[in-house]
Structure 1
């Protein structure tokens, strides 16, 4: 019998292989239709038992013990009335019983509520205002259900990653293969004699470390903390027909025997503090007419994905839904209609009065985009009254919340809560850190003292590429420790927008300094207030975009040419950028050009197109039937204003136009403009600062901000070398275009020439001695302020060399060298290749050795840059750096040429050379001889 079954299975498999592709596609489509039908059936019967086998099947163990759900009550259970005696009954989605002392909280689970999926969202209700532990921060959200097993009620997170169509025999295999997660098994205290409902104690669940605070604190603070069970207690509890809101207060203590807790300036005692967590338990909406929408990688949406085991077509097994709100037209036949139920955002009553209008404008900016999808006034904004009785963390309200922190690394964040079965967005809360505006009232001091101290010591190395402004480890593919920590934080919190504010605050700072230094605007002037309002509108629009389901688009900044950026006739109509989902850089007009918009003030063409993809209604009954409509919309991807590149596209540093915090489609023109603006601000700072009564430490902080701005734009030029445009469009979208398009060789040469002029030429950084001697550090020493103890004078040499070295190492990064090695194969030999890069850098950095002056005299900065270049090539030759072999050979060749040149120079200079220069040249020659004669290190 087994042989017969195996033979039949083999025949069926062979038949599938031989079927025409069109038939297989129809089979796949029917499978998809069945799955969607099952999902809609589950949604329609959300309150009934046993209606979810296709989506979140019971585990095999639970399926084998279904009889336990109706098992007779054990004899040792307390009578229901006795178990709830002395409690207050709270009727809502779940009936709760709370004793008057507040220590105990019980829940009554009805039989029809067993094995039904609900949504749990966990939010940090109170934080410590430091170290990433902030009020309003999302911690977790997941589906859960209650399952009875004997005299226990399990709190279960169902596994929704693997699904089948109803009735598919594979469903049994999935039950065995992929486990659900049982977070807690709660003892049944009593069973109601008539209602047959089960009474459970919620303390073991919601006073336990369900949010994994211990691990979260270890990740964020770098030290072990314990959640003290004896200190945990319930806070306010609210019940509603569709949701339950409860708070738990946790006592946190530093773990004994581990790493000592860090010093936290925001706490009176860093070893112990309290955190309050909000749990929102809500019913999934019964939207019978909501249809998931399939994703397309040409358009940037967050995704809910699962594997469809019933689909045996040869394509990849994932089904991907975009995350979006459920919007329906009030008049389905109208070209432009009001929605049946708009998306409503509430401005929290903590938002300062002076910013509420800008916040409102930033939200409503998106209504222009929704008109492309056929909706008029799809979004509404309302003001939370001062006497509101509801909490902004309540899942029934989408809020814009004001966060007060000591050191927040973000200005804004826009998390959403999503039904993982369908991708439907259910709730959104935008967090704005009040520090973004406080800097203006402190005369441009953007960062807390701890950040200033860190920035002063490591201005160019302490930030990661993850935030869009750092460098990868030199000559290595490994990611820096700060980048890894940032990535872990993103993975833990979900795909939220955490780095925008860290660099956005810097953009705000440099813009305000430009207004003051180049346009004579006072801190309290109308011009300065309008500037801050324009920034806030742009920031809010970005965060609202996330809550609508949209991901970042780092190609958005490349829409306009440099000449168009300050033409307000263009920017007021189409924006500075094609998408507010880019990380927006400050737009500073070049010297002699009237200033236009500093930040974009309208959604761009990409934003409108993306909303059209996600929200245009269709009459299709299942997602597959929408494909013709969606493909028509997504097929516009090759249009220049609709170019899209998101987070995972930028880590390689491949595309010079897909970079955070850049601006314009021509950085070879725009970047030198901004570096010249920085030089002009330095000059003004030297001449006009400090003003009477101003601290010299303020001058130092401003100097650092300008320095970093200069570095930011010099770094953008490196991405042209070995760069390629990466396009997401598909075959057939446009003729003659391919996914990868190398940057023209002439543009790569131009980028290197600009780096030689603006970075490697130390004459660009000639500051007056009086200016450098103004740069005093802050001398405050108390909690929250740490006085600098060492090297009180400004380390100008190290700063400039750090800038030069970082750019140099980025040019010689392993990935860039590998791409240049491949250039000949990808451009028919008409390329900028490895030999030209090595030769150009050798000439730019060691030119004096090949065309020596009568009496050679090298500055300390010049010697420092040459040593860094020598070190980079040495690491390649000695195989201590992981680079392509061709790059290693060229490094050896350049060092050989340099050794010969040094011999000639030393013979020509004789004893007449400057002693410091001659000592340097002789040492370098000896070092080269040893390097070229050294034994190679094995890999």
Structure 2
């Protein structure tokens, strides 16, 4: 009531004054201006000059900038028509991180004024429609999103609002750079690193301390986002692999029409459409940053320009061009790599093996606006094997969410646990168990970031569909490949030396033999001196022995070396890597089916392709029998799939697209990408090789076995520490694991195709791998993992597999590990991982389901056959008892085989327990596992009765324990144990030796 009275009082007084004839009293008004004068606000600031035109006048900047260097203050005046503009904000951490220079995300925003503040708003682009009736509803339901607000400081000379740029870019840095954490204790410590105003864009950067105090430079590139005239979005198709930008159109009512997907591509067109081959209107120009070593620049350029072959197919010549930035001459040094107008290839000296080709796109059309390729130097250096990090990644290839869910509840099956150092296993298992509650059971595709780069190939893909910042593993794996190549070169040099030595010895022996023969025949020495050396047969062999070898490798010793590697090896590898990343910047995704078109002998005979696409991960082509025919070590240029994919994405006439897509059934145009690698198709794999991978795998195992015999002689040179032998041996284990993983994927395999109904040459989308191929693959895996001889172990080799002892840098990990090679843990980890690859529920379910896909009367690989084949290979000793006398020094069953058998029993127990799996296939799996356990227990009992007396103590104790534990499991005697690997889950389990088997009863 009092408020109402106060409100009415002025009206009463004014009315009273009128009644008595007095002039009304004026109500006091606030004459204070809305904002302070810009002249006062900008006093002490320097206006940032704009570039000058050809006539000497300054260009009109997008925003006008003012800076005050003493305290890092920066103001910007937006144009008066700012509300009608949409802005693209490109973000880069320019310094202070190992991946500084890598694109750190982007935003699509607009500014809207609310009294004295501007709101930074992200327009809704996820749901939209062009349907007239639905548009009003969609716009009402799916609105824009406010990201932040920024005060208006004043109205500038041009009539636009002036905002505080350091408040925007420093104060809100953590909102722009997702995941970035700045120092809270030093909020006033920042400085301006860059302020440039151009007609099309504004480039600003601030140096700030991160949460750990390390100075970081945060670079912002602001530009107006306007559609390119003439650019038309192009529909995506699952038969050709492009990154996409997508939205939902809720004005449509057909379920397959509501999701609109456009491929990401550049606006590239002919300068003269009438010409059959024309230059482009605007070429795609890549600037090779001046940090790139001069010795590598030509190979970087070669990799970039390789794609011009594809664009020439659609009539565009020199579509991609390369310029070198040069600090010495100043050439192109005025161009900032972070500037959204320029595409750069950047070189980072961070000792990490990574390469990535992210791009920035218009989220409404899919047009690529900017791309920057990052190359790091670590993959070129000598590869240092971190066994516990590399081996799990190799062994986990192809495992999808279903398998990960199983592993989370059965940590003793998990390669990530089994390859971890014993002291880290509980920690690793606990982390895996937590991940199981994430989407897709912790699979990388369900929990990776959408903006910042992490350590998985799906980063930047999920939720966006475009590789904005996804990690490409091409360089990471290439480091391992180059390490193997370094070892191979050392071995070949050793082999050449040994061959020369052998020839010299043979020549010497031949000469001595002939000399003795001549002496016995009584030939005169003087007569021999008169003979022609060329006809004599004595001197010539010695001269040959001393002369250089005349073979294919004759020039390798004198070849140009780049960082310890022949340029003929490292150059093409770098060009291949660059071409791969350029492919990403052109919009292309990985194609992991590209190595499945040519046989191994065709590749090395010069008649076949290493791969049909540079977008695959291809291993270096090192052939054991290189003397027969050794093809190119790396793929050169791009392949037919790449040409076809570019044609689909960039051909001018959209009417050509159906005809192009119709070709997808051709073998050379097969496509499978990242998400396919966890599926059943054995050809959709990283680092497989050839259409007959079994031939390749056998050749690689011959290579591995040969190289192991020469590690101590050839790989470790005089003056080297013996830890190098351990690095070399573990490298061969990694190579071996890759072959085992590649071939185990054939068991339960199904070929998956993307053909559509009615397409000429189309085949069913699913077809089971032939039974004979599955059997051969299984035989290879068993032969090269379950046998003791598969690992090339000798007492001499083991006595040299030690570690380096340095406590600085990353060396402390090696220094704190045991000097003695953990041979049983390593081999058990390999065998356990193979067992997981063959017997995990996903594979068993696929084998079981595949039986129904094979027509009656045709040969099929069945679930009982798989389980029985594995069982027979594991328990060979029970089928035919070893003969001879045995002791702990000469056991009846070796220690490695005992570990293998213990693993097998543990797996069968897990599979047999009630509630240990879900799905219709699990009951027959459980029944078969229980049946095998009963049979093994009976065989163990019989074996102990007949041969137990002559068995050594190790073997006898092992067999007795195995029989006992199987019978306990079959009798359902469960023991709760809080010390299971992975933590105290409280789940029922059976203790089998030192490895408890989880019984996961629900």
Q: Normalising TM by the smaller chain, what interval?
A: 0.7 to 0.9
Equivalent position to 2:737, from 703, 707, 711 = 711
Describe how 1:652-731 pairs up with structure 2 within 5 A.
652=679, 654-731=680-757
SS at match of 2:217: strand
Distance 1:154 1:308 in 2: 27
CA displacement, residues 159-197 of structure 1 (integer Å, 9 cap, x when unaligned) = 11111227x3433323332232222211112124x7431
* Counterpart for residue 126 of structure 1: 95
Q: Structure 1 residues 276 and 74 mapped into 2: Cα distance closer, same or farther (>3 Å)?
A: farther
Does the 8 Å CA contact 1:459/1:704 hold for their aligned counterparts?
Answer: no
* Counterpart for residue 11 of structure 1: none
Q: Establish whether residue 301 from structure 1 lines up as the match of residue 301 from structure 2.
A: no
Does the 8 Å CA contact 2:269/2:281 hold for their aligned counterparts?
Answer: yes
Describe how 1:76-225 pairs up with structure 2 within 5 A.
76-90=34-48, 91=50, 92-129=61-98, 134-165=99-130, 168-192=132-156, 195-212=158-175, 216=179
* Counterpart for residue 426 of structure 2: none
* Counterpart for residue 20 of structure 1: none
Does the 8 Å CA contact 1:464/1:472 hold for their aligned counterparts?
Answer: no
Equivalent position to 1:246, from 185, 193, 204 = 204
Q: Structure 1 residues 605 and 937 mapped into 2: Cα distance closer, same or farther (>3 Å)?
A: closer
SS at match of 1:435: coil
Equivalent position to 1:543, from 581, 597, 600 = 581
SS at match of 1:78: coil
CA displacement, residues 299-336 of structure 1 (integer Å, 9 cap, x when unaligned) = 00010111123333453301111111111112212222
Q: CA deviation at 1:390?
A: 2.1
Does the 8 Å CA contact 1:127/1:276 hold for their aligned counterparts?
Answer: yes
Q: Structure 1 residues 400 and 472 mapped into 2: Cα distance closer, same or farther (>3 Å)?
A: farther
* Counterpart for residue 615 of structure 2: 581
Equivalent position to 1:893, from 909, 931, 950 = 931
SS at match of 1:760: coil
Distance 1:660 1:523 in 2: 34
Please identify, of 558-567 and 346-355, the stretch whose mean Cα deviation from structure 2 is larger. Answer: 558-567
* Counterpart for residue 451 of structure 2: 492
* Counterpart for residue 613 of structure 1: 648
Q: CA deviation at 1:805?
A: 1.0
SS at match of 2:964: helix
Q: CA deviation at 1:497?
A: 3.8
Q: CA deviation at 1:684?
A: 1.9
Does the 8 Å CA contact 2:105/2:177 hold for their aligned counterparts?
Answer: no
Does the 8 Å CA contact 1:108/1:197 hold for their aligned counterparts?
Answer: yes
SS at match of 2:135: helix
Equivalent position to 1:850, from 858, 879, 895 = 879
TM-score by length of 1: 0.82
* Counterpart for residue 266 of structure 1: none
SS at match of 2:189: strand
Describe how 1:818-857 pairs up with structure 2 within 5 A.
818-829=845-856, 830=858, 831-854=860-883, 857=892
Q: Structure 1 residues 549 and 674 mapped into 2: Cα distance closer, same or farther (>3 Å)?
A: same
Equivalent position to 2:662, from 628, 635, 648 = 635
* Counterpart for residue 808 of structure 1: 835
Q: CA deviation at 1:601?
A: 0.7
SS at match of 1:320: strand
Q: CA deviation at 1:216?
A: 2.4
Distance 1:937 1:604 in 2: 49
Does the 8 Å CA contact 1:472/1:810 hold for their aligned counterparts?
Answer: no
Q: Structure 1 residues 879 and 791 mapped into 2: Cα distance closer, same or farther (>3 Å)?
A: farther
SS at match of 2:118: strand
Q: Structure 1 residues 114 and 227 mapped into 2: Cα distance closer, same or farther (>3 Å)?
A: farther
* Counterpart for residue 56 of structure 1: none
Distance 1:404 1:349 in 2: 13
Structure 2 gap ranges (5+): 1-29, 51-60, 417-430, 436-441, 453-459, 461-466, 495-555, 887-891, 974-998
Q: Structure 1 residues 312 and 823 mapped into 2: Cα distance closer, same or farther (>3 Å)?
A: closer
Describe how 1:427-826 pairs up with structure 2 within 5 A.
427-437=370-380, 439=381, 445-447=382-384, 452=385, 455-457=386-388, 460-461=391-392, 465=396, 473=404, 475-476=406-407, 484=442, 488-489=447-448, 491-493=450-452, 494=460, 495=467, 496-519=470-493, 526=561, 528-568=566-606, 570=607, 575-591=609-625, 592-618=627-653, 626=654, 628-652=655-679, 654-735=680-761, 737-786=763-812, 787-826=814-853
SS at match of 1:588: coil
Q: Structure 1 residues 418 and 74 mapped into 2: Cα distance closer, same or farther (>3 Å)?
A: farther
CA displacement, residues 704-759 of structure 1 (integer Å, 9 cap, x when unaligned) = 11210111111111100000111112112235611111100110111111112111
Does the 8 Å CA contact 2:287/2:342 hold for their aligned counterparts?
Answer: yes
Q: Structure 1 residues 606 and 770 mapped into 2: Cα distance closer, same or farther (>3 Å)?
A: same
CA displacement, residues 72-115 of structure 1 (integer Å, 9 cap, x when unaligned) = 99834101211112212235211112124252111112221213
Distance 1:76 1:485 in 2: 55
SS at match of 2:811: coil
Does the 8 Å CA contact 1:477/1:814 hold for their aligned counterparts?
Answer: no
CA displacement, residues 357-415 of structure 1 (integer Å, 9 cap, x when unaligned) = 10111111111111222212211111112121221111111111001214x3x431101
Distance 1:645 1:73 in 2: 70
Distance 1:688 1:213 in 2: 53
CA displacement, residues 38-66 of structure 1 (integer Å, 9 cap, x when unaligned) = xxxxxxxxxxxxxxxxxxxxxxxxxxxxx
Q: CA deviation at 1:776?
A: 1.5
User: RMSD over aligned Cα, in angstroms?
Assistant: 2.7
Describe how 1:197-346 pairs up with structure 2 within 5 A.
197-212=160-175, 216=179, 228-253=186-211, 271-346=212-287
Q: Structure 1 residues 457 and 825 mapped into 2: Cα distance closer, same or farther (>3 Å)?
A: closer
SS at match of 2:570: helix
Larger radius of gyration between Structure 1 and Structure 2? 2
Distance 1:143 1:391 in 2: 21
SS at match of 1:280: strand
Distance 2:282 2:405 in 1: 53
SS at match of 2:93: strand
Distance 2:160 2:138 in 1: 30
Does the 8 Å CA contact 2:245/2:363 hold for their aligned counterparts?
Answer: yes
Q: Structure 1 residues 791 and 275 mapped into 2: Cα distance closer, same or farther (>3 Å)?
A: same
Q: Structure 1 residues 721 and 551 mapped into 2: Cα distance closer, same or farther (>3 Å)?
A: same
Q: Structure 1 residues 676 and 687 mapped into 2: Cα distance closer, same or farther (>3 Å)?
A: same
* Counterpart for residue 25 of structure 2: none
Equivalent position to 1:371, from 312, 319, 335 = 312
SS at match of 2:451: helix
CA displacement, residues 861-890 of structure 1 (integer Å, 9 cap, x when unaligned) = 000001111111111112474261111111
Q: CA deviation at 1:217?
A: 5.5
Does the 8 Å CA contact 2:373/2:582 hold for their aligned counterparts?
Answer: yes
Does the 8 Å CA contact 2:400/2:443 hold for their aligned counterparts?
Answer: no
Distance 1:614 1:88 in 2: 47
